[in-house]
Chains A and B, each alone.
Chain A
Amino acid sequence: MGRVFRNELRQIIHDPGVLLFFVALPLAYPVVYTLIYNPEVVRDIPVAVVDNSRTAASRDFVRKADASPSMEVYAYCADMAEARELMAESKVFGIMQIPADYSKNLGTGEPSHVEFYAEMSLLLRYRAFVSALTDLQLEVISEITGERIASTGLESLAGAGAMPVKSESNFLGDTEQGFASFVIPGIVILILQQSMILGITLLGGTSRERRRRNGGIDPQDPAGVSVLATVWGRALACTVFYIPLTVYIMRFIPEMFNLPHYGAAVDYLLFIFPMLLATAFLGQALNVFMKERESAFIVIVFTSVVFLFLSGLTWPRYAMSPLWIWVGNCVPAVWGVEGFIRINSNAATLPEVGTAFLAMWILTAVYMLAACWATKYIDVKSRLRYGRG
């Protein structure tokens, strides 16, 4: 096993293609991703205003809307047609129309209906609009209601009457509701798994090519080692190789970019160990499909997108059909993402993510067996196919 371990490390270090995925990718990707999402929140989304009232009251309303951090009045339009034109040109992503009787209704005490049209290409923008508009409505209402109650002569109510019950919203984990803070802790775990699988399958495909040229035997494999020792030796080599990268990704990336990092390092590093091991075995099992080096790219790369969705980061797992929950359960990173997010962002402890921890150990055992079978199968089949006798 020691020989396999050393041999595997040597192969990793001498293959620039593998090093790219084992080192450069885990080092660079988390930084690139964080930079992409680092602006965190969508601010000052341009909005067109169609003010049919054109009164001091309606202008006051628009000023309040403009003051919201989420939106910015890009233009005043004469009518809806002009505003729609701006939206078609993607210059504005929302249109606010104030009715002609806005000011009059405020005087007579009838309710006014302001209309807001949101462009729906990105739900992040829509979400920003909804929350800004709700705040705006509350602000305007409490001001007007306060004035009105005062004018009805029930002054005693003016203070408390406007808001007899207060409410307070608190955000857990990603307290700033930033996009990077939400997405990066999950993505980095996927990067760990996917880069390791890509590296292992690249090595596997290359070894298969050597077998084809050398009568079914890979001359670089140490001879006379049992299947179990081969599989463990390779898995441990990859896992050991990944330990410094894992520390970098889990500990320093969140700190460097000031993303949430509430968890204890002991908890998440212990937690992730079975994921690395399970991934190292999974990669070896997938080698069955790697007939050549390039297969790795075609078979593995697109699965990152699939695993991203299965992890529940974009779409919660409770809303998935049992089939996809079950498929997700078979992916080490799905558990890894779930557990790390809870530890990192919600300060959960290792026992609190016990289910995920246990699941990854089960996957480790399952994929170890699968890797043994795959290694044996590749060996027997190559010898039969390319062997000289």
Chain B
Amino acid sequence: MADLGFIAGMRREIRRMCSRRMYFFGMVLVPLFIGVFFLSILDKGLPEQVPTAVVDLDHSTMSRTVTRSLKAIQVIDITRDCETYDDALAAVRDGSIFGFFVIPANFEQDALAGNAPTLEYYSNMTYFVPGTLAFKGFKTVAVATAGGVVKQTLQSLGLSSESISDLVQPVVIDQFPLNNPWMNYAIYLCPSFTICTFVLMIMLMTVFSITIEIKEGTSPQWLAAANGRMGVALVSKLLPQTLIFTAVGLFLLWLLFGYSHFPLNGSLGWMITATVLTVIASQSFATFICSVVPNPRLAFSLTALFGILSFSFTGFSFPVQSMYGALAIFSWLAPIRYWFLIYINIALDGVPLYYSRLYFAALIVFPIVACTMLWHLKKACLKPVYVP
């Protein structure tokens, strides 16, 4: 008989899902839109050609060489020649440039005379990425200019150019950015933000489909269809959704690793497993919230607040290790945190499964924890009370 209850419940749920456009919107359209949105908005990979300016107060041969090197490098784009420091600063304030490079008056003369003039550069860090790139470009040119002057001086003293370069560069630190040598921002932002939004939608849709029964007072029928068993009722309601979410999740994985060729240095099978487990963990998380507060308003609000905050405390940009301990704890409550860690380990870094074992285990804990509060949800379902 339990079997019959299960199938009847599934039928009932599929009918419900077809009767409202909201289900299709939240479960399929939004996740697909988000996947395409992030790939499309970040398609350049690295926002090079940062608009910047040069303030040449020297107007000498040497200062023009410096300006030429600034114009030659890829990361910045000298879009303006400013006459004064104040002009350049005004351009930063009105947003047309993200930084500027100042060549002081008498630069050439002082450099050759050994008076050590100072090249100054200003990067606007209110926009982190362009500010950082401008800084990087400016620094490269400043260091190269200093090196060039050393060479010129030593050459004039009669040293061979070979011994000069050894003299100027005795130690070189070669940097190897592992698995993302292009420093591609899309590789770093797309997977985490896409799946985090996906998880947010899974949670909201789960809350929606559970609390709508309470709101409309149909929850006793829902339970009755499952012969009064909360667990059967929930599985019959959520399993069809699990299948749809899994299909959407697989499509998102294909967008990331198939269509966009993001690094996948480990097994695709385990990434798929992780994604399916994350779908179930997110549904369980939402079910848990609905069980604790079986009230549409509170359940939705809590889920939305948590879902949006999880973009931050999951540590996609700012590492959890550097957060205050009390806040870092929250990151471990979010299913997306484990997906993210598995993605880093398996897809990006390609380390063996062994190192991700605990993250997989954690994802399995979510449904188990959700089961502990089902009695409370059942109570609420038997006597539905709707508070708007």
Contact = CB atoms under 8 A, between A and B. Distances in A.
Interface of A: 15-17, 20-21, 25, 32-33, 35-39, 41-43, 61, 87-90, 105-106, 109-127, 129-130, 133-134, 136-138, 140-141, 144-145, 148-149, 152, 154, 157, 160-175, 177, 179, 182-183, 185, 206, 209, 260, 291, 293-295, 297-299, 301-302, 304-306, 309-310, 312-316, 318-321, 323-324, 338, 341-342, 345-349, 352-353
B170 A112 contact: yes
B163 to A, nearest CB: 7
Given A41-B322, A122-B316, 9 more contacts: A42-B322, A88-B352, A109-B163, A122-B317, A126-B177, A140-B170, A167-B146, A305-B193, A316-B129
B119 A179 contact: no
Given A113-B174, A120-B177, A353-B94, A20 B301 contact: yes
Nearest to B26: A298
B234 interface: no
A117 B178 contact: yes
B375 interface: no
Contacts of B371: none
Interface stretch (B38-46, B218-226, B237-245, B253-261): B38-46
Given A179-B317, A298-B26, A315-B129, A134 B174 contact: no
Interface stretch (B137-145, B268-276, B377-385): B137-145
Contacts of A116: 173-176
Nearest to B51: A318
Interface of B: 22, 25-26, 30, 34, 37-38, 40-44, 47-51, 89-90, 92-95, 98-99, 111, 114-132, 135-136, 138-139, 142-143, 145-146, 149-150, 153-154, 157, 159, 163, 165-180, 183, 185, 188-189, 193, 196-197, 200-201, 204-205, 207-208, 211-212, 215, 296-297, 300-301, 303-305, 307-309, 311-313, 315-319, 322-324, 327, 344-345, 348-349, 351-352, 355, 388
B172 A113 contact: yes
Given A36-B318, A170-B122, A114 B41 contact: no
- Of all A-B residue pairs in the complex, the 6 with the closest CB atoms, nearest first, are A173-B126, A319-B47, A167-B142, A174-B125, A348-B93, A88-B351
A121 B349 contact: yes
Contacts of A129: 175
Max count, chain A CB within 10 A of own CB: residue among B130, B157, B175, B193? B175
Nearest to A260: B126
A163 B135 CA distance: 20
A93 to B, nearest CB: 9
Contacts of B296: 293-294
Contacts of A89: 355
A172 B322 contact: no
A17 B302 CA distance: 11
A70 to B, nearest CB: 11
B136 to A, nearest CB: 8
Contacts of A130: 136, 175
A170 B119 CA distance: 11
19 contacts: A25-B305, A37-B312, A88-B349, A88-B351, A105-B170, A113-B174, A120-B179, A122-B315, A123-B317, A152-B167, A167-B139, A168-B118, A169-B138, A170-B121, A179-B317, A315-B129, A321-B43, A341-B126, A348-B93
A260 B131 CA distance: 16
Contacts of B316: 122
A105 B172 CA distance: 12
Contact of A164 (B149, B180, B215, B311): B149
Given A36-B323, A172-B123, A109 B208 contact: no
Contacts of B183: 120, 123, 126
A59 to B, nearest CB: 14
B283 to A, nearest CB: 15
A43 B143 CA distance: 25
Contacts of A179: 128, 317-318
B173 A136 contact: yes
Given A169-B138, A346-B92, A316 B130 contact: yes
A165 B146 contact: yes
B70 to A, nearest CB: 13
Contact of B178 (A21, A118, A293): A118
A110 B188 CA distance: 38
Contacts of B345: 88, 90
Contacts of A43: 322
